[in-house]
Amino acid sequence: MSFKYIQNIPTPEEIKSEIPLSKAALEVKAKRDLEIREVLEGKSSKKILVIGPCSADREDSVMEYMTRLAGVNEKVKEQLVLIPRLYTNKPRTTGEGYKGMLHQPDINEAPDISKGIYTIRHLHKRLVEETGFTGADEMLYPENARYLDDILAYHAVGARSVENQGHRLTASGINEPVGMKNPTSGYLNVMLNSIKAAQLPHDFIFSGNEVQTDGNPLAHAILRGAMNQYGRSIPNYHYEDLMMLSRMYTEANLKNPAVIVDCNHANSMKLWNEQPRIAKEVMHSAKSSESINRLFKGFMIESYLMDGAQSEKGTNYGQSITDACLGWDKTEKLVLELAELTAKLS
């Protein structure tokens, strides 16, 4: 093996000791965890909205977005549970391109993962202490979940990771909800197998130790569309897709059947401005079918301060440097509309 040593990485215990959460922040997390759990367990008629930038690329613009979102939350909190996307790890199909704030805490400087770990924990801490939100992040590296496990509201396992045994087993030991995306192939049985694995207890090697988990009953599905053999997008958010998933969930006999619909990626064919239309179609399906309404728990929406996307070297404040996003005006309008539609489902 020929790996070049760069530097030691701080342990999760060291990071948590240096950047601890206040008692007030822990109380916010406990309250938010319960609210989210009740939606996924079917005890609340609210819908979850995992929403925010495709990637958290810079602290100032991200926090401006989150502060604005907190203001909108006051208008919709009786209908929606907003979970900000604070994605600091970014999977890349070929390994090229911006890999997120964890890898590159300053977009204009060279990668520095040690610094990045401090940066992302500081950002998540700011989120809860300044806005009253707890956020979502992607579980790109399973062991890295330990750096944020006391602060996150939601963990997402991406389409390229969902078949990985390490991700499945780690999800079984997480206390918060874990959303498992369908793989890029679109095979729903693969996604459901991942959910089942995450819901079961396991004994395995983790961080140099033999560990045992109890299983995570809040592991659930995320539909994000698929790609066919020609690389073309195939949406899977339509009425028929949701009915099929409902039947498959019943056959699999999984705990707390639930699905979050990702309105971007292959579902939108990466046409970011299609997200509002997709969300409204899903809401119409939920209104038309009690089975779908019971299964459907919310959305993922990619949005930021500015419409669209720019290159990684771009300088537009608040515009995505990864996937294109809805701008703020469209985002605010959509959140208010979804709250109104949710109220009509109850």
Residue ranges of domains in the chain:
23-305+330-345
Is the pLDDT at 241 greater than 80? The verdict is yes
> Residue 190 has which token pair?
């693969």
Angle between helices 59-76 and 328-345 (to 10 degrees): 30
Which whole number is the average pLDDT over 229-248?
96
Q: How far is it, in rounded angstroms, from Cα 45 to Cα 231?
A: 37
Is the pLDDT at 286 greater than 90? The verdict is yes
Which whole number is the average pLDDT over 68-82?
98
The three-point CA angle 313-143-159 to 5° equals 60
Whether 68 and 77 have beta carbons less than 8 Å apart is answered as no
Round the average pLDDT of the chain to a whole number and report it.
95
Whether 76 and 299 have beta carbons less than 8 Å apart is answered as no
Measured in Å, how far apart are the chain's first and last C-alpha atoms? 58
pTM over 0.85: yes
> Residue 260 has which token pair?
């979050």
pLDDT digits (tens, 9 = 90+) for 189-223: 999 999 999 999 999 999 889 999 999 999 999 99
Which whole number is the average pLDDT over 128-153?
95
pLDDT digits (tens, 9 = 90+) for 34-46: 999 999 999 999 9
Q: Which among 156, 177, 76, 86 is positioned nearest to 127, based on CA atoms?
A: 86
Look at residue 314 in the predicted model and tell me its pLDDT: 85
Q: How far is it, in rounded angstroms, from Cα 318 to Cα 58?
A: 9
Whether 241 and 223 have beta carbons less than 8 Å apart is answered as yes
Look at residue 107 in the predicted model and tell me its pLDDT: 86
Q: How far is it, in rounded angstroms, from Cα 136 to Cα 143?
A: 16
Is the pLDDT at 325 greater than 80? The verdict is yes
Which whole number is the average pLDDT over 166-175?
97
Give the rounded percent of residues in the chain with a pLDDT score beyond 90. 88
**Cβ burial 263-276 (10 Å sphere, 16+ → b, else e):** bbbbbbeeebebbb
3-state secondary structure of 234: strand
Q: Which among 29, 227, 226 is positioned nearest to 134, based on CA atoms?
A: 29
Whether 68 and 82 have beta carbons less than 8 Å apart is answered as no
Whether 147 and 19 have beta carbons less than 8 Å apart is answered as no
Is the pLDDT at 54 greater than 90? The verdict is yes
Q: Which among 298, 296, 319 is positioned nearest to 307, based on CA atoms?
A: 319
Give the rounded percent of residues in the chain with a pLDDT score beyond 70. 99
Angle between helices 113-131 and 23-40 (to 10 degrees): 80
Look at residue 130 in the predicted model and tell me its pLDDT: 97
Q: How far is it, in rounded angstroms, from Cα 55 to Cα 33?
A: 23
CATH tag, 23-305+330-345? 3.20.20.70
**Cβ burial 146-173 (10 Å sphere, 16+ → b, else e):** bbbebbbbbbbbbbebbbeeebbbbbbb
What are the residue ranges of helices labelled H in 58-209? 59-76, 113-131, 165-171, 188-199
> Residue 341 has which token pair?
């539609």
